[in-house]
Structure 1
C-alpha cells in the first residue's frame, strides 16, 4: 500500500486538523463539519496529482488553450454518517464524480469492548474499471474500511483504489494494508500511535459522526 501522510508536511492543513481535535472549537458542529470538508478538499487536491490527464483545447473569448484535464472515471464512496462532510469536500473538487454511500457501524456483542462491523445500506454505481475514492474520516481499527471493501466487491473491480482518512491509528493502517491490493493508495491527514481498549484513536478527536451531527442511540 502507498501511504501519503499529508499532515507530515507544513501546510494550512494542520490548522484544520488542530481545530478538529480541539474540544472547545469542535463544540461548534458547523465549524467541525466545515473543517472536515476542508480536509477533504486538501486531500483530494493532493490525490489529483496522481491521476491520469489528457490535453483538451479550451476556447476562450480571445483564442484557444490546451489544458490537461483528468480522464479518470471517479466514484467517491463515503461511509455514513461521519463521512458526509468529508465526502462534500472531495465532491467540491471532483464535481463530475459519481457517488456511492454505504452504512457501517459498530455493533457491540455482549462485552461493551467487543464489536463487529455491520453493513446495512449500499447505494453505488458500477465500480468496474473506475477510480474508487473510499472515504472514512477515522481509520481506527481498520475494520470498517475492510467490511465496506468486501461489500463493494460485488459492484466490479476498480482500476485504482484511493483510501482517504482524516486521522488514523498505526494499528488500523497496518490492518488495512493486509486486506487491500498492494497498489492501493492511502491519503491521510494525521497519524496517531494508539488505540484505547474500546478501539478508539488516542488522542484522536472523539466520535466524528457525533461531533458533526449530534449524539445517537447506541445499537
Structure 2
C-alpha cells in the first residue's frame, strides 16, 4: 500500500489539524466540522493527481482549448457519522462523483475496553470497475476500514481504492496495509505513534463523531 502523509511537508493543513486537536477550539462544533471538511478538500486535491485523465477540447469565447479532465468513475463512500464532513470536503472537489454511505461503530459486548466493529447500514451504487474513495477521519485500529471493505464486496470490485483519513495511528496504518489490496493508496494528514488501552489514537483528538455532532448514548 502506498501511503501519502500530508504533514511530512509544511502546509496550511497543519493549521487546520492543530485547531482540530486543540481542546479549546474543539468546543466550536461548526468550526470542528469545517476544519475536517477543509482537510478533505486538501486531501482530495492531492489525491486528484493520481487519477486517470482524458483529453477534452473545451470551447472558450476566444477559441478551443485542450484540457485534461478526470474520468467520471468516482464513488465517494464515507463511514457514518464522523465521515460526513470529510465526505463533504471531498465532494466539493469531486462534485460529479457518485456517493455511498455506510455505518460502522464500536460495540463493547463486555462493558470494558474490548470491542468489535459492527457494520449495519449501507447505501451504495455499483462499485464495479470504478474508483472508490473510502473516507473516515480517524484511522485507529484500522478494523473499521477492513470491515467496511468486506461489506462493500457485494457492490462489485473497484479498479482503484483510495483511503482518506485525517489522523491515523501507525498500528492502524500497518493493519490496513496488510488487509487491503496491494495497489491501495492511503491519503492521510497526520500519523500518530500509538493507541491507548481503549483503542483511541494518542495524541489524536478524541471522538470525532461526538465533536462533530454531540455525545451519543451508549448501547
Q: Identify the TM-score tier after normalising by the shorter chain.
A: over 0.9
Q: In the TM superposition, what is the alpha-carbon distance from 1:33 to its structure 2 partner?
A: 0.3
Could you report, residue by residue, the CA deviation over 1:197-216 in whole angstroms, capped at 9, with x for unpaired residues? 00000000000000000000
Q: TM-score normalized by structure 1?
A: 0.99
Could you report, residue by residue, the CA deviation over 1:164-189 in whole angstroms, capped at 9, with x for unpaired residues? 10000000111111110011000000
In the TM superposition, what are the counterparts of 1:115-194 in structure 2 within 5 Å? Answer: 115-194=115-194
In the TM superposition, what are the counterparts of 1:81-100 in structure 2 within 5 Å? Answer: 81-100=81-100
Task: Give 5+ residue unaligned stretches, structure 2.
Answer: none
Q: Residue 204 of structure 1 aligns with which residue?
A: 204
| Structure-2 separation of matches of 1:75 and 1:54 | 18
Structure 1 runs of 4+ aligned residues shifted over 2 Å read none
Q: TM-score normalized by structure 2?
A: 0.99
Structure 1 counterpart SS, 2:26:
helix
Task: Give 5+ residue unaligned stretches, structure 1.
Answer: none
Structure 2 counterpart SS, 1:110:
coil
Could you report, residue by residue, the CA deviation over 1:58-81 in whole angstroms, capped at 9, with x for unpaired residues? 111111101110015000000000
Q: Residue 215 of structure 2 aligns with which residue?
A: 215
RMSD in angstroms over aligned alpha carbons? 0.7
Could you report, residue by residue, the CA deviation over 1:89-143 in whole angstroms, capped at 9, with x for unpaired residues? 0000000000000000000011410111111100000000000000010000011
Q: Residue 108 of structure 1 aligns with which residue?
A: 108
